[in-house]
């Protein structure tokens, strides 16, 4: 068994909510030892290791677990493949991607899920965990074979942005998922109010002449889902909470002991509706960007632990889908490779500490999915990233590993760079 010792490193431990100086020993794909420096009676210079690495005071953190990544296989491989998504993830410090089933066709059968798992194992250098559709074809009429899909490796069930409007169908699917211990992901948006919307309702939407959706659409949908969760007892995760109006319903559900968690996206934590500016379609995401007050409320909810998870909501779109009038352009942005430096904006601004950040990026999503990663503890998988939190860069979207280059951060000044990514103790990315 080879041993890899990383010395002179600052270890971010989200479980203990601390950053400490020390050294870390990797053996057989796991964290074998953690040394605090200085530690009485321990000299890391004498620790036997085939490979030694001086981190020069930089940070090591648990690898990011990204829930809700779209990889466009099958159906739209020209937008993103498992190989390109895997390379982008590795370059971004994402060691586990949890893929969405909104492909063409949808991942709604064990055979389709097996195809996804085989392609991912062949092509991606990071862990890939697939989600499956909750209803057949994501059409909201008939639930999928949840038991067979669980056996085939599905980690959760969701129809993504195709909200199931028939509450009878949804309640039956939730009840069946509860009986099997399956996790259900919801997309809290009332489909009637949000249909055709391009931005959030308000003065800005009116001035730009764009169709908007009220933030109440999120609250109404979340209220409905929470009632169904209370009725069925299912484990539920809201994929994106983006408005302050929805937070009381989430807080109430948690206070009442419902098995509920929630996420928000990197874009809704760092951008607001004014960034759309002169109809910049790379800023068109779903749900649309919100007000600055909502953005600040999301940061506070992450800091307080009300919102559990931060995700990239990685959604590749080709140039033809984005180079259209704003109302007609496709929604979505890539984020696997940019999530860490973008999230470090909140650290540098003093909004979140590094342990708080990695609690939402790694520890909480791993816990929600029942994974052993996301921790800096002895015995945990050595899914890690080494990064420089202060390295400045100007983002060039054409240098991203993703096939699609639709990032709203093109040309942005960012601070932070992934230096190396380890998956099960193996280096899968090292910066130049």
In a domain, 89, yes or no: yes
pLDDT digits (tens, 9 = 90+) for 36-59: 876 655 677 777 778 889 999 999
Transcribe 242-266 into DSSP letters: --GGGHHHHHHHHHTT--EEEEEEH
Q: What is the mean pLDDT of residues 25-34?
A: 95
pLDDT digits (tens, 9 = 90+) for 234-281: 999 999 999 999 999 999 999 999 999 999 999 999 999 999 988 999
Nearest residue to 22 via CA among 278, 377, 286 = 377
Mean pLDDT of the chain: 95
CB-neighbour burial class of residue 363 (10 A; exposed 0-12, middle 13-18, buried 19+): buried
Helix (H, G, I), strand (E, B) or coil at 371: coil
In a domain, 402, yes or no: no
The angle formed by the CA atoms of residues 232, 237 and 240, to the nearest 5 degrees, is 135
Higher pLDDT, 1 or 182: 182
Nearest residue to 329 via CA among 130, 196, 182, 193 = 196
Q: What's the helix, strand, coil split of the chain in %, to 5?
A: 35, 25, 40
pLDDT digits (tens, 9 = 90+) for 183-220: 999 999 999 999 999 999 998 889 889 999 999 999 99
- d(CA 134, CA 142) in angstroms, rounded, equals 9
Partner residues linked to 51 by β-bridges: 4
Q: What percent of the chain has pLDDT over 70?
A: 99
Domain total of the chain: 1
pLDDT digits (tens, 9 = 90+) for 210-238: 999 999 999 999 999 999 999 999 999 99
Q: Are 123 and 117 in contact (CB under 8 A)?
A: no
pLDDT digits (tens, 9 = 90+) for 148-180: 999 999 999 999 999 999 999 999 999 999 999
Nearest residue to 290 via CA among 216, 344, 190 = 216
- d(CA 342, CA 363) in angstroms, rounded, equals 19
- Give 385's pLDDT tier (boundaries 50, 70, 90): very high
In a domain, 427, yes or no: no
In a domain, 406, yes or no: no
In a domain, 240, yes or no: yes
In a domain, 217, yes or no: yes
CB-neighbour burial class of residue 370 (10 A; exposed 0-12, middle 13-18, buried 19+): exposed
* CA-derived radius of gyration, the chain: 21
Task: Check which CATH number belongs to the domain holding 243 and give it.
Answer: 3.20.20.140
Q: What is the mean pLDDT of residues 64-81?
A: 96
Range of the domain at 190: 62-369
In a domain, 399, yes or no: no
Structure tokens at 93: 């410090």
Q: Are 126 and 85 in contact (CB under 8 A)?
A: no
* pLDDT for 390 beyond 90: yes
pLDDT digits (tens, 9 = 90+) for 90-148: 999 999 999 999 999 999 999 999 999 999 999 999 999 999 999 999 999 999 999 99
pTM score of the predicted model = 0.96
Residue matched to tokens 């984020």: 335
In a domain, 16, yes or no: no
Helix (H, G, I), strand (E, B) or coil at 271: coil
pLDDT at 44: 75
pLDDT at 190: 96
* pLDDT for 301 beyond 90: yes
């Amino acid at each position: 068994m080879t041993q890899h010792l990383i010395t002179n490193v600052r270890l971010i431990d989200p479980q203990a909510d601390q950053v400490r100086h020390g050294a870390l020993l990797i053996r057989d794909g796991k964290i074998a030892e953690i040394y605090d420096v200085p530690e009485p009676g321990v000299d890391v210079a004498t620790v036997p290791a085939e490979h030694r690495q001086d981190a020069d005071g930089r940070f090591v953190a648990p690898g990011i677990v990204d829930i809700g990544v779209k990889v466009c296989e099958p159906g739209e491989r020209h937008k993103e493949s498992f190989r390109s998504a895997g390379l982008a993830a590795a370059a971004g410090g994402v060691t586990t991607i949890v893929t969405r089933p909104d492909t063409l066709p949808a991942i709604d059968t064990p055979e389709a899920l097996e195809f996804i798992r085989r392609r991912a194992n062949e092509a991606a250098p990071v862990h890939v965990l697939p989600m499956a559709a909750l209803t057949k074809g994501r059409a909201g009429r008939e639930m999928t074979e949840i038991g067979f899909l669980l056996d085939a490796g599905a980690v959760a069930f969701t129809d993504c942005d195709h909200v199931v409007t028939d509450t009878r169908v949804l309640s039956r699917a939730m009840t069946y998922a509860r009986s099997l211990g399956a996790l259900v992901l919801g997309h809290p948006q009332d489909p009637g109010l949000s249909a055709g919307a391009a931005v959030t309702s308000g003065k800005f939407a009116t001035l730009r002449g764009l169709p908007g959706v009220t933030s109440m659409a999120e609250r109404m949908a979340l209220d409905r889902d929470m009632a169904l969760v209370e009725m069925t007892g299912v484990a539920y995760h809201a994929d994106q909470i983006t408005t302050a109006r929805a937070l009381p319903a989430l807080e109430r559900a948690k206070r009442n002991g419902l098995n509920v968690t929630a996420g928000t996206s990197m874009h809704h934590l760092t951008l607001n509706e004014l960034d759309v500016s002169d109809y910049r379609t790379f800023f068109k995401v779903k749900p649309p960007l919100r007000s600055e007050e909502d953005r600040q409320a999301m940061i506070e909810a992450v800091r307080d632990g009300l919102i559990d998870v931060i995700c990239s909501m990685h959604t590749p779109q080709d140039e033809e889908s984005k180079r259209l009038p704003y109302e007609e352009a496709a929604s979505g942005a890539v984020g696997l490779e940019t999530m860490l430096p973008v999230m470090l904006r909140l650290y540098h601004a003093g909004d979140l500490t590094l342990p708080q950040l990695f609690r939402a990026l790694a520890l909480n999503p791993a816990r929600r999915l029942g994974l052993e990663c996301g921790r800096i503890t002895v015995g945990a998988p050595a899914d890690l990233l080494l990064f420089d939190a202060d390295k400045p860069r100007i983002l060039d979207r054409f240098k991203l590993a993703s096939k699609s280059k639709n990032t709203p951060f093109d040309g942005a000044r960012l601070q932070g760079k992934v230096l190396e990514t380890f998956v099960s103790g193996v280096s899968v990315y090292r910066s130049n």
